[in-house]
Amino acid sequence: MTILGLANFPFFFALLFPIYTFASFISIYFMLIQELTYHNYESAADILALIKTALLEPFLYHPKPVV
Half-sphere exposure of 41 (CA within 13 A, CB side): 16
- What is the rounded average pLDDT for all residues in the chain? 86
- In this predicted structure, the answer to whether residue 62 has a pLDDT above a threshold of 80 is no
Give kind and range of the element (H or E) at residue 16.
helix 9-38
What is the model's pTM? 0.74
- In this predicted structure, the answer to whether residue 67 has a pLDDT above a threshold of 60 is no
Q: What DSSP string describes 21-62?
A: HHHHHHHHHHHHHHHHHH---SSHHHHHHHHHHHHHHHHHTS
Confidence of residue 26 (pLDDT cuts 50, 70, 90): very high
Confidence of residue 63 (pLDDT cuts 50, 70, 90): low
Confidence of residue 6 (pLDDT cuts 50, 70, 90): confident
Q: State which amino acid sits at residue 14.
A: A
